[in-house]
A and B are shown apart, each in its own frame.
Chain A
Amino acid sequence: MNNLQIRIPKGVGQRLFKEVIRHGPREPVVFGLVTHASTATKEIVLVRDIRIPPEDAYLPSLGHGARWSGRYMIDLLNEATATRCGLLIFHFHGGSAVRMSSDDSESARQLLPKFQVIVPNRPHGSVVLGTHSVAGAILLPRTDRLETAFSMRQFDKRILDWPMPIASKKERQLFERQPLVRGRLTAAAISASRVAVVGQSGGGTHVSLQLAQHGFGEIWGVDDDYVDQGNRFSGIGFGEKDAAAGKRKVTVLRRAISRIAPRVRYVGLKARVPEQVAIDALKQADVIVGCVNNLHARADLQEIASRYCIPYVDIGLILPTDQASPEEFPPVRAISGNIFTYVPGDVCMWCTGFLSEEKLAGETLGRGRPYLQTKHGADAHVLSFNGVLASQAVNDVVNLVVGYVGETGPIAYRKYDGFKGSLIPCDVKRSEKCMMCSRNSAAGDAIWGTRIISQLSTVA
């Protein structure tokens, strides 16, 4: 596995592929406006949006390769400068082991350093796509070396990684048609995945243990809390002695996972989102599962997932009562839960109103809330209800990695009714007006500079 990856959100990737495979008088090209992010283990190039050159931007060409006008290039570079984005040039050759042609390589050597002079703080590149493979050259900020070893990740019905592992036709067929069978490609996809589970209590214990049993390569549990006699009944794996000894939740889970799945690496982070150590860890995840008890943490996780193109599965459970009731023990009105599965580029929690500024403002600064909404905030027997939600969350993680659902892809939002025992899919769609999608989608790391670049520069 190399340590440079291009990520393309859902929707953007579909438009890109539709254009580059289009038959025409020449090889179509597509330009990607990109940001980037650095993690401890990886450099990530994030495609924020694409630009498809209009027909009149192309110049006559002697060969099959595309040439475009200087005017179009200047317009693109102006847009890249204004949006603080780098430029990737995509085109398609097809085949399972695609390579840059000598013309492609020469053109990259000439163009990319020029792009870098204009937008020095973002990566630039030339990428050729194959059917199951990718090749090209990427010039990262502050370097003059063209990186040719990289992978590409596209978000569609599942996480699609290029290059795909080398496999026989039979192995590929098995993976495509029966991905839940423990074939070589399924096992490879699962064992190569790192899942961060935020919250290692009620839902989080189920999620971590199930992921370990599935054989996910790495599980990073994020929780700074300790097991006690109250919280040990909301999830599984916490014993009476753990509570008596006041052990950390992540310590107990690491021990349990090392026993049931010794090949799985469990990293326990004694932290809370959004502390810096937690953010730095989450940026390195392939999938994030949020098992948190407040909206502020969800908003933070949603932002990290959007900025760095990481799928995010969120679960939550609550037992509401009539809090205005004068009775000491008002009846529980419902056992309500949710599972929200965010795929980068698709509908987010802000699009649907699941998160809103009003809801965040209404949440007390004390943040976390108990499962049972009573004056006493008493502990409740919620272990098995959490188990239902957590199991479906793990299903969604497995689906993101191997794609067992097929044509429809992941369901974004399900409501859980614990009285009926039902999980009801809700029809939610990405809102084109969502300010958070517009702000955060594939935004990557912020680029800090001393120069003021917006319209303010004329005033300031």
Chain B
Amino acid sequence: MSPDTISRFVSEIQREHPGMLYTEDGGRILLKLGGVEFPRGCVPAVTEALVVLDATQPKPRLLVKHKPKTPGSVDPRNVNPEAIAGDSWFGFSYNIAWDESRHTARQFVEGAMRRFAKDE
């Protein structure tokens, strides 16, 4: 991700989530977002989320504080705890289409959260 994209991403997220918390951790930018909604039918319905912006990586990463049950009450596969900046978050792999010249931060967050709409 280019520094310009990272700057744009932070600005967009800040507008979408005015209570966003920010920190820098060894070259990475970490954004903590409250009240991020899981897809309809997931339990819990909302969670705290962490966005990791790293200039050495091609796209942002989204991690969630809670591992939800999917709409079909399934424990989602390959959602594993990860230690980031001394805290535990749940990371997951999801092949989200990301074109940094085109996509917005909102599209990224919503797209990543859609992983939990699937009962797998």
Smallest CB-CB separation from A82: which chain B residue? B24
| In contact, A460 and B24 (Cβ under 8 angstroms) | no
A304 to B81, CA, bound (A): 14
C-alpha gap A443/B86 in the complex (Å): 9
A380: Cβ under 8 A from any B Cβ? no
Does the CB pair A450–B82 fall under 8 Å? no
B78 CB to closest chain A CB, in angstroms?
Answer: 5
| B21, A443: Cβ atoms closer than 8 Å | no
Verify if B32 is at the interface (C-beta below 8 Å from A).
yes
List of A residues within 8 angstroms of B21 by Cβ: 448-450
- The answer to whether B86 and A439 have CB atoms under 8 Å apart is no
CA distance A458 to B29 in the complex (A): 15
How many chain A residues touch B (CB < 8 A): the figure is 37
The answer to whether the Cβ of B7 comes within 8 Å of any Cβ in the partner chain is: yes
Contact (Cβ within 8 A) A451 B22: yes
Give bound CA distance, A75 to B15, whole Å: 34
B73 contacts the other chain (CB 8 A): no
With an 8 A cutoff between CB atoms, is B30 at the interface? yes
Q: Are A459 and B4 CB-contacts (below 8 A) given A274-B83, A279-B88, A439-B27?
A: yes
The answer to whether residues A446 and B7 also contact, given A84-B24, A272-B81 and a CB cut-off of 8 A, is no
Q: How many A-B residue pairs have C-beta atoms within 8 angstroms? Tell me.
A: 85
Partner of A304, one of B6, B19, B86: B86
A432 at the interface (CB under 8 A from B): no
Which residues of B40-88 are within 8 A (CB) of A?
A: 78, 80-83, 85-88
Find chain B residues with CB under 8 A from A451 CB: 22
Q: How many residues of B contact A (CB 8 A)?
A: 30
CA distance A443 to B30 in the complex (A): 14
Residue B119 is within 8 A (CB to CB) of chain A in the complex? no
User: Is there contact, CB below 8 Å, between B30 and A456?
Assistant: no
Interchain CB contact under 8 A, A439 and B26? yes
Interface check A173, CB cutoff 8 A: no
Q: Tell me if A456 and B26 are in contact (CB < 8 A).
A: no
Q: Is B93 an interface residue when CB atoms closer than 8 A count as contact?
A: yes
| Contact yes or no, B10 A452, CB < 8 A | yes
B22, A438: Cβ atoms under 8 Å?
no
| Nearest-CB residue, chain B, relative to A280 | B88
Q: Which of B19, B21, B32 has the most CB of A within 10 A?
A: B21
If A274-B88, A365-B80, A460-B11 touch, whether A446 touches B23 (CB-CB below 8 Å) is yes
Check if A307 is an interface residue, CB within 8 A of chain B: yes
Q: A274-B81, A276-B87, A365-B93 are in contact. Are A448 and B7 (CB under 8 A)?
A: no
CB 8 Å contact bits of B1-21 with A (1 = contact, 0 = none): 001101100110010000111
Q: Is the CB of A453 within 8 A of B81?
A: no
Residue B25 lies at the interface, judged by CB distance under 8 Å to chain A: yes
A300 to B86, CA, bound (A): 9
A403-460 contacts to B, CB under 8 A, are 435, 438-440, 443-454, 456, 459-460
Chain A: CB-nearest residue to B93: A365
Query: Are B86's CB and A37's CB within 8 A?
Result: yes
A303 interface residue (CB < 8 Å to B): yes
Our pick among A308, A439, A449, A456 for the contact of B6 (Cβ within 8 Å) is: A456
Sampled A-B contacts (12; CB under 8 Å): A272-B81, A274-B81, A274-B88, A303-B86, A304-B86, A308-B86, A365-B78, A440-B26, A449-B22, A452-B10, A456-B6, A456-B29
6 further interface pairs, Cβ-Cβ under 8 Å (given A304-B86, A365-B80): A276-B88, A279-B86, A303-B86, A438-B26, A443-B86, A446-B30
